[in-house]
Amino acid sequence: MKKTTTKSRSVTVSDVAKEANVSKATAARVLGGYGTVSDKVHEDVLAAAKALDYRPNELARSMTTGKSGIIGVVVGDIENPFFSLAVRGISDAARAAGFNVILANSSEQIEVEKAAVRLLIGKRVDGLIVTPSESRDVSHLRDIHRSGRPLALLDRALPDLDVDTVTVDDRDVAMRATRLFVDAGHRDIAYVTAVDAEGHEFRDPTQIYTSSVRERIEGFLAVCHDAGINDPKRHIRLGATSPEETRRIATRLLSTPDRPTAILASDSLIGLEIVKVIQAVGLSMPEDISLITFHDADWTSVTSPPITVVDQPVYALGKSVAELLIRRLKGETRPPERLVLPTSIIERGSVGPPFNNVAGSSQTEPSSD
């Protein structure tokens, strides 16, 4: 190999080929990761590239190999710590496998999600990881699947779309969280979520087109019905889509004569705003109100009292879905996998028995036996 000379311009494949004493086509095969060459030639080309500080032109390489080395990711709300941590898991797995990540945010709006998918396809991503904002309109995801481009779903399953999917046991853990309230004596229990529906009022789970939230509400209602709670859906609140809207919902919820004695928050952003309202209206946890929130965010362990949380394996969720996609990108063929990761509940100090003498409460009167 020739002695390296000082360069004053961008190093090309031709420069690397000349340095390694091979043809340009051979150097391109080594640098592009396609075709076959001898071990010695492979080593010589990589050594030349390193000596010349060669930086590949990703667009040119993608045109040559048909691969960009990029994974596109679309999530619902990047400001939500849940998605931030899941994307960290995706990024770490992608980087370890030699892939880069382009991230897009859907704001939980189906048209924004479709636009993000179109943008990523235009960027020639090799595969896509998507958190579907709803289960009704998935034509854009079906199109990706039919095209043969690898697609995996994060956190939310689509039963009619047979692709790799990684979720958590939402229905089961919502049941476990609700049982904590019921076992403590609560009969007036609220559920607050960012997901909205037409009319902004909850009637039944068929209104909810986000699979994870629908499963949580189904679990919540199942335990309430088993406990004999009268009309448990009356305290379900939809549309907590911003801090301001969440505080408005929580303020109204806690200002009614028959206010709930316990609240299950569907994510930590909602949980934080509910804590602010609890403090603002002069209530105490758990004496006046009990609270459980999904996701073990940092703030939940430093409040007074610390908050009982549904601890989801969020990083593992992201890492697992990326690993499934990467296996397909590397040519592995197998039936689609649907992984359901287990969750746990971390019990802290925000759950206690309900306050007494609630006007209009639906709590069951104690037996005279």
Per-residue model confidence as pLDDT tens digits over 156-178: 999 889 999 999 999 999 999 99
Residue 361 has pLDDT above 60, yes or no: no
Residue 280 has pLDDT above 90, yes or no: yes
**What is the full DSSP assignment across 333-358?**
-----EEEE--EEE--SS--PPPS--
The pLDDT of residue 153 is 97
Q: Which of 13-27, 128-142, 178-192 has the highest mean pLDDT?
A: 178-192
The pLDDT of residue 58 is 52
The pLDDT of residue 314 is 95
113 HSE (CA, 13 A, CB side): 21
Give residue 55's pLDDT band: very low, low, confident or very high (50, 70, 90): confident
3-state secondary structure of 23: coil
Q: Is the CB of residue 94 less than 8 Å from the CB of residue 322?
A: yes
Percent of the chain with pLDDT over 90: 63
Average pLDDT, the chain: 88
Residue 59 has pLDDT above 80, yes or no: no
Give residue 39's pLDDT band: very low, low, confident or very high (50, 70, 90): confident
Give residue 147's pLDDT band: very low, low, confident or very high (50, 70, 90): confident
Question: What would the pLDDT profile of 233-263 be if each residue is shown by its tens digit?
Answer: 999 999 998 999 999 999 999 998 889 999 9
The pLDDT of residue 9 is 62
CB within 8 Å of 193: residues ≥ 6 apart: 213, 216, 217, 236, 237, 238, 240, 266, 270
Residue 191's H or E segment, with its range, is strand 189-192
Can you tell me the mean pLDDT for 215-228? 96
Helices (H) and strands (E) in the chain, counts: 12, 12
Residue in this structure with the two tokens 């998918």, named with its chain if needed:
117
35 strand-pairing partners: none
Residue 117 has pLDDT above 70, yes or no: yes
- The span from the CA of 277 to the CA of 247, in Å, is 6
The pLDDT of residue 8 is 47
> In a 10 Å sphere around its CB, with 0-12 CB exposed, 13-18 middle and 19+ buried, how is residue 128 labelled?
buried
Can you tell me the mean pLDDT for 44-57? 84
Residue 357 has pLDDT above 60, yes or no: no
- The span from the CA of 218 to the CA of 212, in Å, is 10
Per residue, the 3-state secondary structure of 198-213, as one string, reads: HHHCCCCHHHCCCHHH
Residue 358 has pLDDT above 80, yes or no: no
